[in-house]
Amino acid sequence: MIGMAGEVAVTWVAGLHNLLGMLLGIAIGLLTYRGYTTTKSPTMLRLSIAFTSMGLGFMISAIDLYIDGSFSIVSTVFNTVGYAFIALAYSVQKGFKYIVPLLTLLTFAIYPFFTIPGNSLVYVIRAIAFILIVYGSTQGVILSLASRKVTSLIIASGISLLAVAEFIGWYGMIFHNPLYTYLADTIKISSISIILITIYMIIRRVMRINVR
């Protein structure tokens, strides 16, 4: 069993992860919105909504640490909305319009065969989130390889790491092992940091071109 000191340490580390995630997510949201106001790119706007939503999800998770899990589903929903906009940003619109509802229905269809005790709705939403981020990361890699732009490939790789983190997070949730959760959060924060740096470089370059 974890003693009082251990519980404090677990809460402190989780709170630090959530604080970093919130700051990084909102920072990307602001940067990409600035990019949208300059370029009018729909992709920038969708990424802005995506990462702002993820940042709010981290914020709610931080609050949730101190109120006995009352808002865990809210943070999960914000995170899922963020993944949905990432998938939308990197999708062929006609395909996305039909694929995502189909995958969502498929998730609900197969869920009864993998019933897990506890908050079932959270598990279903996280399953949908995983499908969305895998779809978005796959499309992002395909598009970046086609464009042959290093920055696009780095961002797509960062989004792929988000999918890996979400998968590892499943183990932490199912087996109640904090090590999986810490690993997932560390990968997620690292990937968001990579995306933030890359987007900052892109926005800075775009601003220089517009000034000229």
Compute how many other C-beta atoms are within 10 angstroms of the C-beta atom of residue 64. Answer: 18
Distance CA 157, CA 141 (A): 7
More confident residue, 138 or 8: 138
Selected residue with higher pLDDT from 101 and 123: 123
Q: Which has the minimum average pLDDT: 1-5, 128-132, 161-165?
A: 1-5
How many C-beta atoms surround the C-beta of residue 186 within 10 A?
15
Q: Are 44 and 29 in contact (CB under 8 A)?
A: no
Q: Per the structure, how many domains does the chain have? A: 1
Q: For 141-156, what is the mean pLDDT?
A: 86
CA distances from 157 to 7, 52, 85 (A): 34, 19, 17
b/e map 153-175, b = 16+ CB within 10 Å: bbbbbbbbbbbbbbebbbebbee
* Rounded distance between C-alpha atoms, residue 135 and residue 96, angstroms: 9
- State the DSSP code for 1: -
Domain residues for the domain of 99 are 4-211
Confidence band for 104, pLDDT divided at 50, 70 and 90:
low
Rounded Cα–Cα distance for residues 136 and 148 (Å): 18
Q: Centre a 10 Å sphere on the Cβ of residue 57 and count the other Cβ atoms it contains.
A: 25
Question: Where residue 33 falls among pLDDT bands split at 50, 70, 90?
Answer: very high
2 has a pLDDT exceeding 60: no
The model carries a pTM of: 0.81
Report yes or no: 28 and 195 within 8 Å, Cβ to Cβ.
yes
